Amino acid sequence: MKTTLKAFMLAKLVFASSVCVFAQTNINTLKIKNVNELREFFKYTGKTIPIISGHRGGTVKGFPE
């Protein structure tokens, strides 16, 4: 029983370690060169990619950091 548990834990550790090796290496960025391209990017067409934004707040008292 202990040997099986040790083997399972070892396999789990090896798998968890291998996931880190295949981490994402490229950065997803938008290549916008000027204001006109920026306006064109944000123009609604119904076929555009969704924009997801996150913000953690600021230095205003009562709001999260």
Integer Cα distance of 9 and 1 in angstroms: 12
Within 8 A by CB and 6+ apart from 41, the residues are 30, 32, 48
Joined tokens for residue 47:
């076929």
Whether this prediction's pTM lies above 0.75 is answered by no
Rounded mean pLDDT of 34-49? 88
Per-residue pLDDT tens over the stretch 1-41: 678 878 777 777 776 666 555 666 777 778 999 999 999 98
Integer Cα distance of 3 and 65 in angstroms: 48
